[in-house]
Amino acid sequence: MESRNQTAISKFILLGLSEDMDLQPLLFWLFLCMYLVCVIGNLLIILAISSDSHLHTPMYFFLSNLSFTDICFTSTTIPKMLVNIQTQSKVITYEGCLTQMYFFMIFAELDDLLLTVMAYDRFVAVCHPLHYMVIMNPRLCGLLLLLSWLICLICSLLQSLMVLRVSFCRETEIPHFCCELAQILKLACSDILINDILLCFLTGLLGVIPLTGILFSYSRIISSIMSISSARGKYKAFSTCGSHLSIVSLFYGAGLGVYFTSGTVRPSRKNSVVSVMYTVVTPILNPFIYSLKNRDMKGALRKLFSRGSCSQ
């Protein structure tokens, strides 16, 4: 049997969302607008929280970190995609692809863990309101954030290092607009059993366990809300969780869509289209959900805009 050349490759080809040249200008302006909306919207959330002392609480501390994560998450993929469309080049270097994949995993996993921590925060606020500030003290909040970062950094680094042992027989084409671990592994021509085992293990660790924690928190929250006698009290309790629950539904709904479509043997562009919901649309909607459904956030944004107009 003739052995195949398994020398290290120097680049990958990102095929993007479509090969239709007539669609490229539309895709460029569409994703540029979406990226700007995401960055500006999440940046406004961060500025509003940092400038309003009434929002210096654990809930908004984690929300500002979620907004920062969403900015970084979209920034790992969309700028490169826009450059490729504008220059009509689909090339990404091997090193650049692994770097993008590493940071993509960090911020995707950090999004997941922050949503889990925010679910715990809502659980304490609804089920133990009298002890909320004692339990969710600044030290615990900082520790939870630090632990989330450490877990994401270590897990992403471990998966990226494991990709270095994978051989590719030739310059490969990725039917995606970014370097995603599952898509890259499907293009390997060496044994990836260890990579698949690690991927499944970390998917359970960073996907199933956090989701279970979120579901458990909300089962206790709903039980506590149902025990409240007044309708006004039920509405007030549920309103503190509505925005977070909406974001969790979007994040995991899109994430499960990506997971099931990536289960095909051969990668296709359908996977990348579904990934748009996960990587772009959800981070865009987060600031709108929190600003439209949250009275305190709307007040902070009004103060922020009024300060800006007065300073001019």
**Domain presence at residue 3:** no
Average confidence (pLDDT) over 41-52:
90
> Does 202 map to a domain?
yes
Q: CB burial class (10 A; 0-12, 13-18, 19+) of residue 261?
A: middle
Count of structural domains within the chain:
1
In a domain, 311, yes or no: no
Q: For residue 56, give Cα distances in angstroms to 46, 52, 62, 148.
A: 11, 7, 10, 20
- Average pLDDT estimate for 73-101: 90
Number of H helices, E strands in the chain: 13, 3
Residue 136: band (very low, low, confident or very high) from pLDDT cuts 50, 70, 90: very high
Work out the average pLDDT over 186-207: 86
- In this structure, are residues 237 and 194 in contact, taking their beta carbons and an 8 Å threshold? no
| pLDDT on residue 7 | 46
Q: Is the pLDDT of residue 168 over 60?
A: yes
What CATH number corresponds to the domain at position 268? 1.20.1070.10
Domain that holds residue 145: 11-304
Q: How would residue 200 be classed by pLDDT, with cut points 50, 70 and 90?
A: confident
| CA dist list (Å): 76 to 37, 69, 79, 81, 229 | 16, 11, 7, 10, 48
Tokens representing residue 257 in the block: 């869509």
pTM score, whole prediction:
0.88
Whether 187 maps to a domain, the answer reads yes
The answer to the question of residue 2 being in a domain is: no
Residue 292 maps to a domain:
yes
pLDDT score for 291: 73
- pLDDT surpassing 90 at residue 231: no
Q: Quick one: CA dihedral 234, 237, 243, 245, positive or negative?
A: negative
Whether 258 maps to a domain, the answer reads: yes
pLDDT band, residue 58 (cuts 50/70/90): very high
Q: Which residue has the higher pLDDT, 188 or 68?
A: 68
